[in-house]
């Protein structure tokens, strides 16, 4: 589980098994991959309206629901106009 | 623990990880742990027009439980060695039971 150590205190993007995307600061994790995210926002992808950003705050996400945790490159992230990205959400992962 | 050891021999190689939601992520294998969680560097997602969700991500941690396939270059794998090791591990398990 050393994989998440290097992402601590940085801005991360979390894809969950139900196909949702959360972005926040990684404040903690454990062996089960449960994670603590601060200043979390959800990015709701939508084929008609572009990405909707929903502010959520402090979140704990249970490890079993996590698919991918990625470190966000701030330069690329800030250069993107999310409201112009029209696409369906990521597919769900069947359990 | 055989496949954990096996994946450790693939560190620094380029692999394609296919998730159970059909998302294919290509990247350099950076680390793997006992749950076969995988960390990839310098990633790119196949079909970026269809899956633009992660374009700003360059390094990612993938939970082992969501991985469907790990696609490898056959040049990186000694299949005979792997078969022998699998057999040995199977015998060890049988011997212990």
Taking the model in full, what pTM does it have? 0.93
Number of domains in chain B: 1
Q: What is the CATH number of the domain that holds B20?
A: 2.30.30.100
For residue A3, give the DSSP letter.
Answer: G
Interface of A with B in 20-49 (CB under 8 A): 21, 33, 43, 45
Residues of chain A with pLDDT below 70 are 1-2
For the segment A52-61, what is each residue's pLDDT rounded down to a tens digit? 999 999 999 9
Q: How far apart are CA B38 and CA B3, in angstroms?
A: 12
Nearest to A66 among B30, B50, B63 (CB): B63
Q: What is the CATH number of the domain that holds A9?
A: 2.30.30.100
Residue A8 resides in a domain: yes
Number of domains in chain A: 1
Partners of A37 in beta bridges: A26, A59
pLDDT tens over chain B, length 97 residues: 899 999 999 999 999 999 999 999 999 999 999 999 999 999 999 999 999 999 999 999 999 999 999 999 999 999 999 999 999 999 988 888 7
The residues, any chain, with a CB within 8 Å of residue B3's CB and separated by 6 or more, are B36
Q: How many CB atoms lie within 10 A of CB A35?
A: 26
Q: How far apart are CA B11 and CA B43, in angstroms?
A: 14
Name the residue range of residue B45's domain. 1-96
């Amino acid at each position: 589980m050393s994989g998440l150590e290097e992402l601590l205190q940085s801005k991360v993007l979390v894809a969950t098994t139900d196909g949702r995307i959360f972005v926040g600061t990684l404040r903690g994790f454990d062996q089960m991959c449960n994670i603590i995210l601060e200043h979390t926002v959800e990015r709701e992808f939508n084929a008609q309206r572009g990405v909707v950003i929903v502010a959520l705050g402090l979140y704990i996400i249970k490890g079993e629901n996590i698919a991918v945790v990625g470190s966000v490159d701030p330069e690329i992230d800030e250069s993107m106009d999310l409201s112009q990205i029209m696409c369906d959400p990521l597919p769900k992962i069947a359990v | 623990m055989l496949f954990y050891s096996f994946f450790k021999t693939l560190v620094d190689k380029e692999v394609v990880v296919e998730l159970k939601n059909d998302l294919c992520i290509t990247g350099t294998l950076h680390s793997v742990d006992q749950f076969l969680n995988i960390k990839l560097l310098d990633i790119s997602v196949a079909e970026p027009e269809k899956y633009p969700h992660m374009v700003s991500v360059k390094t990612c941690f993938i939970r082992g439980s969501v991985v469907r396939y790990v696609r490898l270059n056959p040049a990186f794998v000694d299949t005979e060695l792997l078969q022998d090791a699998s057999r040995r591990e199977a015998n060890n398990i049988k011997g212990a039971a």
